Amino acid sequence: MFSLETKRAVITGAASGIGLAIAQTLAAQGADVILLDLDETKAVEVAASIGQNAIGIGCNVAEEASVTAAFARIPLPASILINCAGIAHVGNLANTTAADLDRLYSVNVRGTFLCMQAALPAMLSSGGGVILNMASIAATRGLSDRFAYSMTKGAVLSMTLSVAKDYVDQGIRCNCISPARVHTPFVDGFLKKNYPGQEAEKMKGLAASQPIGRMGQPVEIAHLALYLCSDEASFLTGCDYPIDGGYFNLR
C-alpha cells in the first residue's frame, strides 16, 4: 500500500520542516522528488541526503519567472504537486500594514497559484495528477493576532476547492491539509524573532493549545500527505483535512 513507484512529486518549501518531511516520506515510498526552496544550496544538500531519486532546485514561489524557470528544470513532468512554501505574521487588523498583507499574499497565495498553474499542463497532458496544498486551521478557525496569515490560508482553501471542481473530469485530484501547531525550525525561528526571551514560555503555550497536549511533528503531516497523494486516496478530492490534535472539534 501507498507505493509511489513511477510517480514524480514536486514539493515547495522542501528544504526544511513539513516540506522536507514530506519529501523524505514520498521518496521512501518510491517517488522521484523535486525539492523546490528559496534556499537553493540547502535544497541541493537535502536532496543529496535523500538519494538519487531527489533533486534540489532554487525557486522563489512569489516570482512568476522563478517558478517558470524552476519547472523548466524538472527532467520529466510531475504527477504530484505539494505546496508547502509559506510565511507567517503576527498582527491583528489594527496593526497589520498593507505591506505585511502584500508580503504574505505574495508567498502563501500567489506562490500557491503560480506553482499550481505551472504544474497543470503536464498533468492535463498525462491524464491527471494530484495537487495537495498546505492550508491551516487558521483558514476556518479564528486565531488571535493572525489576521493576514488567516486570510492567506483561507484563500488556499478556496483555491483548492475551485481547482478540484474545475478539473475533476480531467483526472486531477486537489485537496488541502490544515495543520494546527507543528514543531518545525520555522516555529523556533518565529518565536526567536517575535518573542525574544520568551521562547520557552511561548513554546509551552503552543503545545497546550492543542487538546492532545502537544504540537504535531512534521512526519505526522507527511504521513497524511502520503495517503492523499497515493492511489489509495483515489476517491478523495475537494477536501480539507485538519490534522490538529483535536483543536478544531474539542476546543
pLDDT digits (tens, 9 = 90+) for 10-24: 999 999 999 999 999
145 with 210, same domain: the answer is: no
Task: Specify if 61 maps to a domain.
Answer: yes
25-60 pLDDT, tens digit each: 999 999 999 999 999 999 999 999 999 999 999 999
45 with 72, same domain: the answer is: yes
What is the domain extent for residue 191?
Answer: 183-215
Backbone angles phi, psi at 73, to 5 degrees: -85, -5
pTM of the model: 0.95
Task: Specify if 129 maps to a domain.
Answer: yes
Predicted confidence band of residue 186 (pLDDT cuts 50, 70, 90): confident
Task: Specify if 247 maps to a domain.
Answer: no
224 with 115, same domain: the answer is: yes
Task: Specify if 138 maps to a domain.
Answer: yes
Shortest CA distance to 11 belongs to which of 3, 22, 1?
22
70 with 187, same domain: the answer is: no
173 with 207, same domain: the answer is: no
Number of structural domains in the chain? 2
69 with 54, same domain: the answer is: yes
Predicted confidence band of residue 189 (pLDDT cuts 50, 70, 90): confident
117 with 35, same domain: the answer is: yes
Q: The domain that contains 113 carries what CATH number?
A: 3.40.50.720
b/e code 156-165 from CB counts within 10 Å (16+ = b):
bbebbbebbe
Query: Cα–Cα distance between 57 and 59 in angstroms, integer?
Result: 6
Task: Specify if 52 maps to a domain.
Answer: yes
Note if 241 is an active site residue. Answer: no
Determine which one of 105, 149, 227, 241 is catalytic.
149
Predicted confidence band of residue 108 (pLDDT cuts 50, 70, 90): very high
Task: Specify if 250 maps to a domain.
Answer: no
175 with 210, same domain: the answer is: no
213-245 pLDDT, tens digit each: 999 999 999 999 999 999 999 999 999 999 999
**Residue 227 CB burial class (10 angstroms; 0-12, 13-18, ≥19):** middle
66 with 89, same domain: the answer is: yes
| Region of residue 173 (left: phi > 0; alpha: psi -120 to 50; beta: else) | beta
